[in-house]
């Protein structure tokens, strides 16, 4: 069902690309109504336009807060063209149809990025714009609604094709987009007020996101997938390689979360299936990568490497020796890019601008969403208590905190063996903590990484002595674990009997 456009109302914050739209409206002899800055811009572009206040015979009031909130505007948009009672109401009130609404909103989201001044933020909450858009979207049977300058070209083509009219399918599609725009806009405002009032878990939680990329498929080829971001992008810049997959992104975010928990400019993280299989924070970047790789070179094959620093030529040559899916870094030297681009499918990601500052983590199951604050706190010695008779050396304590930090990003039950700020064995994702201990020990022995400075971290307390006993028997000299077991005293006694350093954390760090 085609609908002729005779009158258009234009009120936009984004005034770019207006001229082509105005040209097609003029060509089809469409009357234009506008207000404020949009009216001035249309006149500057030398097109005829009627100001809203002249159209309604009602001046703008309250410093512009009220200008389009008028019965003549909304009756013109909302009336059903084929309903006699509606036509009668319009005629009795001297109102007329508005067939096209072109509106985009005050830039509330951008205002939040520019200022923390609450008064300025409040003044950038659009009221009239979303109200007109909702009215037009509701009455899509008769009215066309445009909410972005990105839609101008499509509208122009539609008007050309149907000689000044639009099709029902076109109007219905734009209506769907319009309701998404108003919902998104309100969700950003809702989120702002929740943060301002420190309401972490409101009665109704509204999530918003921008489509960043529609992925080839999900975890498996038969699953559909896309990635959304609260901002306009993920702050990850892909500079080479084939398109990222769902699994790639899952690993990338896991790797970056660990990388950003390490000292600035230090650390190599190797991830496979969202689990770290090697981490090192050695000062020398090349040695850092080699050490991380030595923890489990078999699992690293086909994995993801995240370097918390810029990749140089020498490191690129070393990285090129192993098959990897993705390499992430805080920038790449030109010579390094040239070397790594030799593998056409290898994804190179510049993560310089990525930060792990998200306050909440979301996990969904069917129609249910679980939300929790993310485990991003940086550790210091204040978080721990030495409970054994033997006290750790400064080097041991540093290794213990390093191991414990890595441990909280390993799927639970998690055990991490480390030495010289490098992982040497990781046991992950086992129902039994004892099994995780054995896996970590087996990994260490398999790759000949045993030494005299071995420490171990557990993401939760040992419920029985057997777990810590197995670690000490494998050569572990110091253990760090959360407290809280009814057998904590037994664990402490065992540590003292074996002259082992034991440090308790005040908090548990499961990662299911």
Distances (CA, A) of 204 to 54, 201, 370: 41, 8, 13
**Cβ–Cβ < 8 Å for 49, 34:** yes
CB 143 within 8 A of CB 115: no
**Rounded distance between C-alpha atoms, residue 29 and residue 7, angstroms:** 9
| Residue 82: burial class (beta carbons within 10 Å; 0-12, 13-18, 19+) | exposed
Active-site position among 6, 138, 208, 237: 138
CB neighbours (10 Å) of residue 379? Answer: 17
Write the Ramachandran bin of 112: left for phi over 0, alpha for psi from -120 to 50, otherwise beta.
Answer: alpha
Residue 208 is among the residues annotated as catalytic for this protein: no
Catalytic site residue 72?
no
Q: Which of 273, 395, 398, 445 is catalytic?
A: 273
Q: What is the CA radius of gyration of the chain?
A: 31
Alpha-carbon dihedral of residues 152, 97, 108, 47, nearest 10 degrees?
A: 50
477 vs 491: CA distance, rounded Å: 14
The 3-class secondary structure across 135-181, one letter per residue, is HHHHCCCCCEEECCHHHHHHHHHHHHHCCCEECHHHHHHHHHHHHHH
Please count the helices (runs of H) and the strands (runs of E) in the chain.
Answer: 19, 23
The DSSP annotation for 441-493 comes to: HHHHHHTT---TT-EEEESS--SSHHHHHHHHHTT--EEEEE---TTHHHHHH
SS (H, E, C) 340-358: HCCCCCCEEEECCCCCCCC
Under the phi-then-psi rule, with left for phi > 0, alpha for psi from -120 to 50, and beta for the rest, what region is 448? left
Residues marked active site are found at 138, 273
């Amino acid at each position: 069902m085609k609908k002729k456009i005779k009158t258009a109302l234009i009120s936009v914050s984004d005034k770019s690309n207006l001229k082509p739209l105005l040209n097609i409206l003029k060509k089809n002899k469409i009357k234009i109504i506008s207000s404020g800055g949009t009216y001035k811009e249309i006149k500057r572009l030398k097109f005829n336009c009627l100001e809203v206040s002249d159209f309604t015979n009602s001046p703008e009031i309250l410093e512009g807060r009220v200008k389009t909130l008028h019965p003549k505007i909304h009756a013109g948009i909302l009336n059903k063209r084929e309903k006699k009672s509606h036509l009668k109401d319009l005629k009795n009130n001297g109102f007329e149809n508005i067939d096209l609404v072109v509106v985009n909103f005050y830039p509330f989201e951008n205002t939040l990025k520019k200022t923390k001044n609450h008064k300025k933020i409040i003044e950038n909450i659009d009221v009239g714009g979303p109200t007109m858009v909702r009215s037009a979207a509701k009455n899509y049977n008769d009215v066309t609604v445009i909410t972005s300058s990105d839609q101008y070209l499509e509208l122009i083509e539609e008007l050309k094709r149907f000689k000044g009219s639009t099709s029902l399918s076109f109007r219905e599609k734009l209506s769907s987009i319009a309701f998404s725009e108003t919902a998104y806009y309100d969700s950003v405002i809702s989120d702002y007020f929740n943060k301002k009032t420190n309401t972490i878990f409101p009665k109704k939680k509204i999530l918003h996101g921008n489509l960043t990329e529609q992925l080839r498929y999900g975890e498996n080829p038969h699953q559909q997938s896309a990635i959304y971001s609260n901002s306009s992008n993920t702050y990850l810049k892909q500079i080479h390689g084939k398109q990222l997959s769902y699994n790639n992104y899952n690993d990338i975010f896991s790797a970056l979360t660990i990388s950003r928990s390490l000292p600035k400019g230090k650390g190599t993280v190797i991830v496979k299936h969202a689990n770290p299989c090697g981490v090192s924070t050695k000062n020398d970047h090349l040695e850092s990568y080699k050490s991380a790789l030595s923890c489990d070179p078999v699992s690293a094959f086909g994995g993801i490497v995240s370097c918390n620093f810029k990749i140089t030529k020498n490191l690129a040559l070393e990285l090129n020796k192993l098959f990897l899916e993705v390499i992430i870094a805080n920038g790449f030297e030109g010579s390094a890019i040239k070397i790594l681009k030799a593998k056409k499918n290898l994804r190179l990601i510049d993560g310089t601008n990525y930060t792990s500052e998200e306050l909440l983590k979301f996990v969904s199951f069917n129609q249910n969403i679980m939300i929790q604050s993310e485990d991003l706190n940086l550790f210091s010695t204040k978080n721990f208590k030495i409970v054994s008779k033997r006290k750790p050396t400064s080097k041991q304590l540093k290794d213990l905190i390093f191991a414990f930090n890595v441990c909280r990003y390993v799927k639970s039950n998690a055990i991490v063996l480390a030495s010289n700020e490098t992982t040497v064995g990781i046991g992950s994702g086992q129902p039994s903590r004892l099994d995780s201990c054995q896996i970590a020990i087996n990994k260490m022995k398999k790759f000949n990484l045993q030494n005299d400075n071995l420490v171990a971290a557990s993401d939760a307390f040992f419920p029985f002595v057997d777990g810590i006993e197995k670690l000490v028997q494998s050569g572990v000299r110091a253990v760090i674990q959360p407290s809280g077991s009814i057998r904590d005293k037994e664990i402490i006694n065992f540590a003292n009997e074996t002259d082992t350093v034991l440090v308790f954390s005040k908090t548990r760090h499961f990662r299911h």
